[in-house]
Amino acid sequence: MRRRPNLAFVLLTTVALVLVSGVATRGFAAPQVQGVSLQIPGLTVHGDTNSWTIVAILTFLTLLPAIILSMTPFVRILIIFHFLRQALGTQSTPSNQTLIGLSIFLTYFLMAPVGASIQQQAIIPLEAGTVTAWEAIDRGSVPLRKFMLQSTREKDLALFVGMSGQPRPKQPEDIPMSTVIPAYIISEIKTGFQIGAILFLPFLVIDMVTASVTTSIGMMQLPPVVISTPLKILLFVVADGWNLVVGSMMKSFH
């Protein structure tokens, strides 16, 4: 039986032949690319537009996870979901991918108004050419700083302001982002642990009652966790737990 040729292989071969023939016809002429240069005091780096665009995109993609973790409610949401799963006794349900995906979309929901403000105050004027890139960064940091300060404790802000050696600011808007971001992360972690501990209490009561009952009747062959886990899941489903947890968590940001 004759084997049919691979369509992808045929297309790639055709494209390669066309490129080779085009280069041969032009006499291996180098393409003309518009050049750009990066000038820093004491250093000048030359390159082309495509290379600098690739560098900027790769740098942004590298820093994107850190930006999501440090400047959004993602940390608090993920910590709460982790404690909830541990309290229910389901070690891998929902899966990590499910919890991370839900945390990302809830973070997007919460940060949508902030993103709209940044677009109106910074991105649109930058595209219109009315402000420079640094002015756009300063304008865009204002709504983001306001959002983070709403969830940051004064004690954490005072800690990093004192460690930085800077004079005491007259108003919260004068605090630099290098101080606001670590204080915000610590506050979010503390809040996430507080909410997680509160979620643990009702399920802990069920575990204690189940262990006491099974011990008193002499049921030693069956571990208490085997009985308490279905009871906790049933209670969580009957009380519409996901709606209550997500609703209360989202309201805690306002």
Q: What is the mean pLDDT of residues 112-134?
A: 81
User: Which residues in the chain belong to E strands, given as ranges?
Assistant: 35-40, 43-48
End-to-end Cα distance, the chain: 70
pLDDT at 156 over 50: yes
pLDDT of residue 170: 78
pLDDT of residue 182: 87
pLDDT of residue 245: 85
Amino acid sitting at position 11: L
| Residue 81 to residues 84, 107, 184, 226, 230, Cα–Cα distance (Å) | 5, 13, 19, 22, 19
Indicate the pTM of the whole model.
Answer: 0.68
User: Do residues 192 and 80 make contact, with C-beta atoms less than 8 angstroms apart?
Assistant: yes
C-alpha 93: how far from its chain's center?
21
**Tens digits of residue pLDDT in 30-47:** 444 444 454 444 444 444
User: Do residues 90 and 236 make contact, with C-beta atoms less than 8 angstroms apart?
Assistant: no
| Structural tokens at position 237 | 């489903």
User: Do residues 172 and 142 make contact, with C-beta atoms less than 8 angstroms apart?
Assistant: no
pLDDT of residue 209: 81
Q: What is the mean pLDDT of residues 141-147?
A: 83
Confidence of residue 53 (pLDDT cuts 50, 70, 90): low
Between 213 and 23, name the one with better pLDDT.
Answer: 213
pLDDT of residue 38: 45
Instruction: Give 141-147's long-range contacts (Cβ < 8 A, gap of 24+).
Output: 141/177, 142/173, 143/114, 143/117, 143/118, 144/71, 144/114, 144/118, 144/177, 145/173, 145/175, 145/177, 145/180, 146/173, 147/111, 147/114
C-alpha 235: how far from its chain's center?
31
Q: How high is the mean pLDDT of the chain?
A: 74
Q: Could you tell me what percent of the chain has a pLDDT over 70?
A: 77
pLDDT at 102 over 80: yes
pLDDT of residue 119: 82
**Tens digits of residue pLDDT in 61-98:** 787 777 777 788 888 888 888 888 888 888 777 888 88
pLDDT of residue 247: 86
pLDDT of residue 50: 60
